[in-house]
Every structure is written in C-alpha cells, then in structure tokens.
Amino acid sequence: MATNESVDIFSSASLAVEYVDSLLPENPLQEPFKNAWNYILNNYTKFQIAIWGTLIIHEALYFLFCLPGFLFQFIPYMKKYKIQKDKPESLENQWKCFKMLLFNHLCIQLPLTFGTYYFAEHFNIPYDWEKMPRWYMLLLRCFGFAVIEDTWHYFLHRLLHHKRIYKYIHKIHHEFQAPFGIGAEYVHPLETLIFGPGYVIGIMLSFDHVILLWAWVTLRLIGAIDTHSGYDIPLNPLNLIPFYTGSRYHDFHHMNFIGNYASTFTWWDRIFGTDSQFNAYTEKMKKLEKKTE
C-alpha cells in the first residue's frame, strides 16, 4: 500500500514538473542544439562520442575555463583581486603544471573513461535526442552528484593530509602554495584514482543518458577551477550558491595546509570544526581592514 502511494506521489510530482515546463516559453537555443546533437549521432559511433567526445569536452572546457585566470596575471588591474598577492607563479611552474596535466588526462583519466563507455553499453544507456533529460533535471542530478563527490572528497582529502601519508601522494598538489586555475587537477596519479570514485558514484546510480556525463564534467570543472583560481572576483555568480566553498575558502587551504578539506560545500568542515582556523583568520583580516580604513 505504501509502495503504491509512493509511486503516486512521484508520478504526480513528475506530471507537475512537466506541466510547469509546458508553460515556459520555448528555448530559442533548443533547435540549434537539437540539430547539432543529431549531426553528432549521424556522423559518429557511440564509442567515438563517449570516449573521444568526452576527452575533447574535458580538454577544451578545462583550458577554456582556466584562460581568464591565466590572463589575469598580465593585467595590473586584476592584481587587487588576487588572494595571495605576494606569491605570483612563474611561467616555468605553470608550464610544469601543464605537462603534468596532459599526462594525467591522457594516461590516467582517459583509460577510466573507457569504463564509463562499457558501463553505458552494458546498461543500454541512450544517446538519442528524444530521451535526453530536460536541462533542470540535469542540473538537479548534477547537484546530487556534487553532494556525493564533496562527501567522498572531504573524508579522503582529510586522510591524505595525515602525516604518515601526506608526503607520498597529496604533497604534489600542494607544491604551489598559491593556487592557480590550471593547477586544479595537478595531482599525483594515485590521487586521481583515490578521488575518482567520488566523481562517478552519482553517475553510476543515475545514468540515463550520455549527456548527463558531459553536464557533470562541465559543472565539476567550473567549480574546481574557480576554487583554485587564486582570485576572488566580485559578483561571481557561483558565490550565490548556498554553502559554496569558493576561491578564498580553498586558497586558505593551500596557504595553511590544514583545514578546509571540502571541495564544493562547506558543511562537512563546519560539522567537524575543520574550518576553525579559516574562520579565525577571516575575523583577524576583517579587524585589520577596519583599522586601516
């Protein structure tokens, strides 16, 4: 009886969402996107779309999202928004970071993408336009994925900072005390494998279309690169997200090495008190600013 009631509730909720969606004006970008998507389906195999398409999406978006932060270092006006102003990164270090990124992306992440493709094939995950989830469902699921990833990241990240483990793996990511966007995925290859399950657990639980993978990759990159940007830009729309960590929050982690272990949301740090040093530092800086006014 309870099961039937639950089904009725979910069915009613689904119908309500569809009704509200029918009242919204038609998205002018829908038709061009539909044509582009069908072109991809008609000209490439599922293997090419899932593997090489995902690689291209990841590489193109990664470096595109990193580009503003890279250019900021050459614009004197933007220096006032840099969080650690006394620690500029040399082009030599950024080149070193770039080479490590290519190795991790091609030799570690790409092989893992093959697993996603075969998972999709085994469960007959659709690619066609008609079965593509609506944009708001993609956002809702990606939010759920972010909660899962953030939880996994917090506890494993905190473990990697243990004094008996830190120097063997996670120390590489902290090689640059002042983070910059391109360094978001500058990690030891083992770290990629350790944090990897946090990225894919949500997908595996709710994988009903290949576009979901691309949406999740896109949103996760935006968050990771923003928090590692090294700049606290005013009117950043990401800062409107409740409990979002942000660049200043994660920058403190690189500066202090202790605390602020979360990747996206602040609640785990708040629950376990691992944001106490950051809070004390923030209060101290506010008092100094008032004195200088």
The predicted-structure confidence for 258-271, as pLDDT tens digits, reads as follows 999 999 999 999 99
Any residues with CB less than 8 A from the CB of 52 and at least 6 apart, and which?
A: none
Say if CB 154 and CB 262 are below 8 A apart. Answer: yes
The predicted-structure confidence for 130-155, as pLDDT tens digits, reads as follows 999 988 899 999 999 999 999 999 99
Can you give the residue ranges of every domain in the chain? 46-76+87-292
Any residues with CB less than 8 A from the CB of 172 and at least 6 apart, and which?
A: 186, 187, 188, 191
Residue type, 171: K
CA distance 264 to 270: 13
Say if CB 184 and CB 247 are below 8 A apart. Answer: no
Say if CB 188 and CB 173 are below 8 A apart. Answer: yes
Residue type, 153: H
Q: By 3-state DSSP, what share of the chain in percent is helix, strand and coil, each rounded to 5?
A: 75, 0, 25
The predicted-structure confidence for 45-102, as pLDDT tens digits, reads as follows 999 999 999 999 999 999 999 999 999 999 999 999 999 998 888 899 999 999 999 9
Q: Is the pLDDT of residue 22 over 80?
A: no
User: In the prediction, which pLDDT does 2 show?
Assistant: 43
